[in-house]
Amino acid sequence: MAPVLPDALLARLAELGLAATTTTHEAVFTVAASESLYARIPGVHCKNLFLKDAKGKVWLVSCPHDRAVDLKTLPRRIGSGRLSFGRAELLDQLLGVIPGSVTPFGVINDTTNAVTVVLDAWMVAQPQVNFHPLINTATTTVAGADLVTFLRACDHDPLIVDLESPLPDA
């Protein structure tokens, strides 16, 4: 099945009654490259980590762009095995996007619920969060709570996790 395209994603957000604003821009492939957009697009700019654990489970972790995510302690926070970055082919297969376009909106293409979405708790509470709408030549702004509504409408109940506070000693 062909992946959902950005226009269909935006139509789905509208169908769900979720306010979204999309800004087109030059292609950006990294958090560093996207810094030039921060001044002209209000809200929390986010990064996304497409990960696979030692047991073969796939994870998508979304958090503010400047949040440090320690892959050694993340498994304790989310209940996973040891984590490593997922391959581009798997990303395309499950979320219908390429590296540089990773986004929680990609779950619209994950019809088998193979991906577990993890959202930073602080980020979800924000009035505006920014993600690519399946392509890296645009940024879509939604409320953090509306992102959760969208994910649930796609049958992906996200894990909402405090990714900032230090973990207690094990």
Series of mean pLDDT values for 10-residue runs along the chain (170 residues):
87 98 88 80 96 96 95 95 96 95 97 97 98 96 98 98 81
Predicted confidence at residue 170, as pLDDT, reads 54
Domain architecture of the chain: domains with CATH: 6-161 (3.90.960.10)
Do residues 95 and 87 make contact, with C-beta atoms less than 8 angstroms apart? no
Question: How many Cβ atoms sit within 10 Å of the Cβ of residue 111?
Answer: 12
Q: What is the pLDDT of residue 1?
A: 64
Q: What is the pTM of this model?
A: 0.94
What is the pLDDT at residue 145?
A: 98
CB 160 within 8 A of CB 148: yes
100 neighbors 30 (Cβ within 8 angstroms): yes
E strand segments, the chain: 21-24, 44-53, 58-64, 83-85, 115-120, 129-131, 138-142, 159-161
